[in-house]
Chains A and B, each alone.
Chain A
Amino acid sequence: MSQTPANNPPAKKSANAIPRFAVVGHPNKGKSSIVATLAQDDSVYIDRVSGSTRTARHYPMRVDGETLYELIDTPGFQRARGALAWLTQHCQVVSQRPATVRKFCEQHKDGNDFFNECELLQPLVEGAAIIYVVDGSHPYGPEYEAEMEVLRWTGQPSLALINPIDSNDYIDEWEVALGQYFKTVRVFNAHTAPFEKRVNLLTLFGQLHPQWQTLLETAVAILQAERSRQHRQASETIADMLVDVLQHKEIQRLPSGVPSKPTEMALTKQYRRYLQQQEKHCRKRVEEIYAYFQLEREEHALEILDKDLFDQQSWYLFGLNKRQLISVGAAAGASAGAMLDLGLGGSSLLLGSMAGGLAGGIGAWTFSDKIAQLSIKGLPTGGLSLQYGPWEHPNFPFVLLGRALQHLRLICTRSHANRNTLSLDKQMEENPFEHVTAAQRAKLMAAFKDIRKGKQLAKHRLLLRDSIHQQIAAL
């Protein structure tokens, strides 16, 4: 692997040089959501009821232990007018304003009246930049002026973010109001902002101070490299799961005279349980890769994804539809027939390919609904060997892959501020193989068949990994 700057830990620097950004504002305007999204931290407590953040919480970006920047989530203003009154009373000279704010914090930090103000102003006194957050779905009000004025007193570099929590109705109004106090105003929806927008925002943070720009650019490069790594790791995790599951079989030997029926049922059950466990484990790993650690409690609400893997009614949603299935079957049959044609030096007038294609297509159409078959063999030493699996149904590997892809898409496009249960919107309900070409589907089918037989596993694992990676890249 080449050593890109994103792979190297940053050089050591003094604590004072670390860019720090305090996310401040009115209570319940999405400060914690913005921090959760930027810090990719789903442990941030976010509530629609105000006052969920009582104390300042720090979110340093650490790379091999070195801090590149720090986000600070703060409680909302409670008595901005009171604080401003105190500041005005204690300062007559404009140049003394930052020092007065420091004095304000020192004087009130142990009291109850200005607890929130001290918590949010203290990081600013210590050199943090201001990220002022408002809600673009609610109108501007005069009560915000005192907050912005207090922030101006700190003399720290600042920018304002309009977070449209429920709608964009009042964004224009806010842009005008905020423009009076902040040089830079941006709209940033913490719940829907894609990754690129998040890192762009961090780049923008870097522009608040000339010395921070390089560090923030390094941080962004590292985050982008980390994102690519996450995609690669997720692709590899899913490919590994597929290779494992598609080869899986349950075998049980029975002594002569023992009835086989109960064992047959037990094997079927074990096979299904194994597949479900592997799929669940894969999902959990993918979530961990993208730093989602709190999603377990929401597993039950995965809607369609939570439908049983063996629920064939949902198969066409994730796997191939009948038409795609027939075309894949026909392509696989034709390629087998083509080998025959090749062996006969073309003297068969491509009859092999045609017959193979026809047989493959009909086979796919008339295939039984069983995922796998039970086979019973007599043993030379007496008794029976019962085997359930590997898979038989041509759609099964596509269903498995399709389900994994859907889950991956949900995770990839989700924000860490989102506390809702994972759900599939209309766009997600689109068949994951809709935009995959017939040739690619046939190639996948050939790989699945090889994996089933344990052939060229390493090669096919790479093929699957790359196919999945392509799908993520296309998001």
Chain B
Amino acid sequence: MPKKSVSLNDLVRLDQQLQRDRETPLRQLQERDRAVGAPLRSEPKSRKLLAWLDNTAIRGRLPQLHNVEFSLGFWLGLAGLLIGLTAMSGLLLVDQQQPVNVLLFLTVFVGTQWLLLVLTLVVAFAVAMGGQLHLPLENLNPARWLFHRTFDRLAGNIRWEQFTPVVRLALLSWGQLFGVFFNIGLLAAMLIILSVVDRSFGWSSTMNISVEGLEAALRWLSIPWATWLPVANIDAQLVAATRYQSLQAQFGSAQVEAMRAWWPFLFACIAFYGLLPRAIMWLLLHYLYRRRLVRAFLHFPGVGMVLERMNSPLVYTQADGRETADRIELDKVALSALPANDKHFAINWAGALEGGAPDLLGQLNLSRASIASAGLNLIDDQKLLETINSQSAKQVGHDVIVLVKSWEPPLGELGDFLGGISSDTDCYLLLLPLKNCAIKPEEYADWQQFIRQQGHPRLALVSGSGGAAAEKTP
């Protein structure tokens, strides 16, 4: 049963497998992929591909990548938690003589996070839209370092350019996960420290900030929880009472008491402006990342071909194995000149004269009427053979010229006929060219091969084509 969801690990495996497949013969790939794809006909594409990967991707270091996304999430979460704990502890515990400046607290833990959040949104939007916006701040993403370190070590030769948008969204998503745990760390540290240490909060600024102005701003900040979490609301009295000067050493007991009342507001600020947006952002980016991941998985270069091979029936029209020539190449016999003897026994084999050039007949002192026909009827051929052989026995001195069609291949029938001629008789196969054509080299080769295969000791090949003079033996 193929697994259901795609992971970044699958994308890496896919890339590596496709790179390996480049050197594999296509026929082999077709057989392999169809075997995997045939039983999965009704499965969606991504599950088919996952099953294909499980069946084809080689084992080795790749299984170590299996939980890499989980591991990265875990380590980033842990790092965020620890850094959050440390940061809040640092702020709350560094100078216990002075109250914690609320303005500094909000700037560091809310303002900075919001700035990063907005930048993340801009980049995420650009990446999701297929843009290429790169901000230097991205390099500060701890997920980036951890990711490259892990994947480069485990996966080696990855074509990163093929899944840059996916990786960027993954990094942004992991960055938010880091942020979620960072905020959890902040809140946890705040709760722990404030439950054991008596810390007070106040506000002080070198800027000209009025109590009313700050109170209005803080009230605006507390809108999300104002109605259902009154304990975390701030009033003008508290704002006025907790203002202090940076070098102020003494605080009245009423002022100290008032200063303790800030923490629910600050806690709510981190929860609502740190943790909550980060969590939402993480979910959003995770969704975008997953969507992009599946898209990248299905549109990875080469995947279309894999799916095609999985879905298409394996069609073979070829024979099994390669055919090779099993003909034995014999030495070619040389072409002979026309016989000098003027006593010929001429045979028109299979109507060769009908299609061939009759000019040669004059050269051979032959008239059409003196030429016997053969190669049409076996009984006639037999009678002709008997006549030839009886002439030979009488030592009349006739040679035999068989006029053959150069354009037709020599057949066994002719071989049988020639085999029936007495071995004492000079025998010539005269190749007649097709009307208006020269005899082709492959036709010569065919007949030369044929002559060599015959057992007749006095059999020669003569060309009836002027064009072949150069090939004739003097």
Taking Cβ atoms with an 8 Å cutoff, the residues of A that contact B are: 1, 3, 6-9, 26-28, 38-41, 43-45, 47-52, 54-55, 57-65, 76-82, 85, 113, 116, 138-139, 141-143, 222-223, 225-226, 229, 232-233, 236-237, 240, 243-244, 247, 281, 285, 288-289, 291, 293-294, 453-459, 461
User: Please, which residues of chain B bring their CB within 8 A of the CB of A50?
Assistant: 409-410, 446
Q: Which residue of A lies closest to B407 (CB)?
A: A138
Asked if B216 CB lies within 8 Å of chain A CBs, one says: no
Report whether A39 and B327 are in contact in the complex, using a CB–CB cutoff of 8 Å.
no
Report whether B41 and A458 are in contact in the complex, using a CB–CB cutoff of 8 Å.
no
Sample 8 A-B pairs with CB under 8 A, ordered by A number: A38-B317, A40-B317, A43-B321, A49-B445, A80-B413, A143-B351, A143-B375, A226-B315
Interface contacts beyond A43-B319, A141-B350, A461-B299: sample of 4 additional A-B pairs, CB < 8 Å, sorted by A: A38-B317, A64-B34, A85-B378, A222-B315
Bound: A232/B319 CA distance, A:
25
Smallest CB separation, A428 vs chain B (Å)? 25
Q: Which residue of A lies closest to B352 (CB)?
A: A141
User: Please, which residues of chain A bring their CB within 8 A of the CB of B228?
Assistant: none
User: Please, which residues of chain A bring their CB within 8 A of the CB of B354?
Assistant: 141
Closest 3 CB pairs of A and B: A50-B409, A78-B412, A48-B442
Bound: A1/B42 CA distance, A:
10
Fill in one digit per residue for B316-331: 1 if any A CB lies within 8 Å of its CB, else 0.
1111011111110000
Report whether B318 and A288 are in contact in the complex, using a CB–CB cutoff of 8 Å.
no
Report whether B314 and A63 are in contact in the complex, using a CB–CB cutoff of 8 Å.
yes
Given the known A-B contacts A143-B350, A143-B375, A291-B318, are A54 and B326 also in contact in the complex, defined by CB atoms under 8 Å?
A: yes
Asked if B130 CB lies within 8 Å of chain A CBs, one says: yes
Report whether B34 and A236 are in contact in the complex, using a CB–CB cutoff of 8 Å.
no
Q: Which residue of A lies closest to B409 (CB)?
A: A50
Smallest CB separation, A275 vs chain B (Å)? 16
Report whether A243 and B318 are in contact in the complex, using a CB–CB cutoff of 8 Å.
no
Report whether A54 and B327 are in contact in the complex, using a CB–CB cutoff of 8 Å.
yes
User: Please, which residues of chain B bring their CB within 8 A of the CB of A138?
Assistant: 407-408, 434
Smallest CB separation, B15 vs chain A (Å)? 12
Q: Which residue of A lies closest to B329 (CB)?
A: A49
Bound: A240/B162 CA distance, A:
11
Given the known A-B contacts A44-B323, A139-B355, A240-B302, are A288 and B26 also in contact in the complex, defined by CB atoms under 8 Å?
A: yes
Q: Which residue of B lies closest to A69 (CB)?
A: B317
User: Please, which residues of chain B bring their CB within 8 A of the CB of A61?
Assistant: 315-317
Bound: A55/B316 CA distance, A:
21
Report whether B413 and A79 are in contact in the complex, using a CB–CB cutoff of 8 Å.
yes
Interface centre among A40, A49, A281 (most CB of B within 10 A): A49
Smallest CB separation, A256 vs chain B (Å)? 24
Smallest CB separation, B114 vs chain A (Å)? 30
B73-91 interface with A by 8 A CB criterion: none
User: Please, which residues of chain B bring their CB within 8 A of the CB of A458?
Assistant: 295-296, 299
Given the known A-B contacts A1-B311, A26-B409, are A57 and B323 also in contact in the complex, defined by CB atoms under 8 Å?
A: yes
Interface centre among A50, A226, A454 (most CB of B within 10 A): A50
Report whether A52 and B319 are in contact in the complex, using a CB–CB cutoff of 8 Å.
no
B342-399 interface with A by 8 A CB criterion: 350-351, 354-355, 375-378
Asked if B149 CB lies within 8 Å of chain A CBs, one says: no
Smallest CB separation, A232 vs chain B (Å)? 7
Report whether A455 and B130 are in contact in the complex, using a CB–CB cutoff of 8 Å.
yes
Report whether B409 and A232 are in contact in the complex, using a CB–CB cutoff of 8 Å.
no
Report whether B434 and A45 are in contact in the complex, using a CB–CB cutoff of 8 Å.
no
Q: Which of A7, A57, A79, A243 contacts B312 (CB 8 A)?
A: A7
Q: Which residue of B lies closest to A53 (CB)?
A: B323
User: Please, which residues of chain A bring their CB within 8 A of the CB of B413?
Assistant: 78-82, 143
Given the known A-B contacts A61-B316, A81-B378, A222-B315, are A49 and B412 also in contact in the complex, defined by CB atoms under 8 Å?
A: no
Report whether B313 and A59 are in contact in the complex, using a CB–CB cutoff of 8 Å.
no
Report whether A223 and B308 are in contact in the complex, using a CB–CB cutoff of 8 Å.
no
Report whether B313 and A64 are in contact in the complex, using a CB–CB cutoff of 8 Å.
yes
Report whether B327 and A51 are in contact in the complex, using a CB–CB cutoff of 8 Å.
yes
Smallest CB separation, B300 vs chain A (Å)? 9
Report whether A59 and B317 are in contact in the complex, using a CB–CB cutoff of 8 Å.
yes
Report whether A78 and B308 are in contact in the complex, using a CB–CB cutoff of 8 Å.
no
Smallest CB separation, B63 vs chain A (Å)? 28
Bound: A211/B378 CA distance, A:
40
Asked if B467 CB lies within 8 Å of chain A CBs, one says: no
Q: Which of B132, B314, B315, B411 contacts A27 (CB 8 A)?
A: B411
Asked if B336 CB lies within 8 Å of chain A CBs, one says: no
Bound: A281/B307 CA distance, A:
21
Q: Which of A57, A65, A289, A459 contacts B314 (CB 8 A)?
A: A65
Bound: A79/B417 CA distance, A:
11
Report whether A461 and B323 are in contact in the complex, using a CB–CB cutoff of 8 Å.
no
Report whether B319 and A76 are in contact in the complex, using a CB–CB cutoff of 8 Å.
no
Smallest CB separation, A297 vs chain B (Å)? 13
Bound: A453/B440 CA distance, A:
58
Bound: A3/B40 CA distance, A:
13
User: Please, which residues of chain B bring their CB within 8 A of the CB of A40?
Assistant: 317-318
Q: Which residue of A lies closest to B410 (CB)?
A: A50
Given the known A-B contacts A1-B311, A454-B161, are A49 and B449 also in contact in the complex, defined by CB atoms under 8 Å?
A: yes
Bound: A63/B326 CA distance, A:
30
Asked if B164 CB lies within 8 Å of chain A CBs, one says: yes
User: Please, which residues of chain B bring their CB within 8 A of the CB of A48?
Assistant: 440, 442
Asked if B25 CB lies within 8 Å of chain A CBs, one says: yes
User: Please, which residues of chain B bring their CB within 8 A of the CB of A3?
Assistant: 41
Bound: A85/B380 CA distance, A:
13
Asked if B27 CB lies within 8 Å of chain A CBs, one says: yes
Report whether B34 and A57 are in contact in the complex, using a CB–CB cutoff of 8 Å.
no
User: Please, which residues of chain A bring their CB within 8 A of the CB of B161?
Assistant: 247, 454, 457
User: Please, which residues of chain B bring their CB within 8 A of the CB of A58?
Assistant: 319
Bound: A44/B317 CA distance, A:
12
Report whether B312 and A226 are in contact in the complex, using a CB–CB cutoff of 8 Å.
yes
Bound: A461/B303 CA distance, A:
12
Report whether B316 and A28 are in contact in the complex, using a CB–CB cutoff of 8 Å.
no
User: Please, which residues of chain A bring their CB within 8 A of the CB of B315?
Assistant: 61-63, 222-223, 226
Bound: A76/B408 CA distance, A:
12
Asked if B198 CB lies within 8 Å of chain A CBs, one says: no
B405-422 interface with A by 8 A CB criterion: 405, 407-413, 416
Smallest CB separation, A418 vs chain B (Å)? 16
Smallest CB separation, A282 vs chain B (Å)? 10
Report whether B26 and A285 are in contact in the complex, using a CB–CB cutoff of 8 Å.
yes
Bound: A116/B27 CA distance, A:
33
Asked if B301 CB lies within 8 Å of chain A CBs, one says: yes
Q: Which of A45, A51, A461 contacts B301 (CB 8 A)?
A: A461
Interface centre among B25, B161, B295, B319 (most CB of A within 10 A): B319
User: Please, which residues of chain A bring their CB within 8 A of the CB of B305?
Assistant: 233, 236-237
Smallest CB separation, A281 vs chain B (Å)? 7
Smallest CB separation, B213 vs chain A (Å)? 40
Bound: A459/B129 CA distance, A:
12
Q: Which residue of A lies closest to B441 (CB)?
A: A48
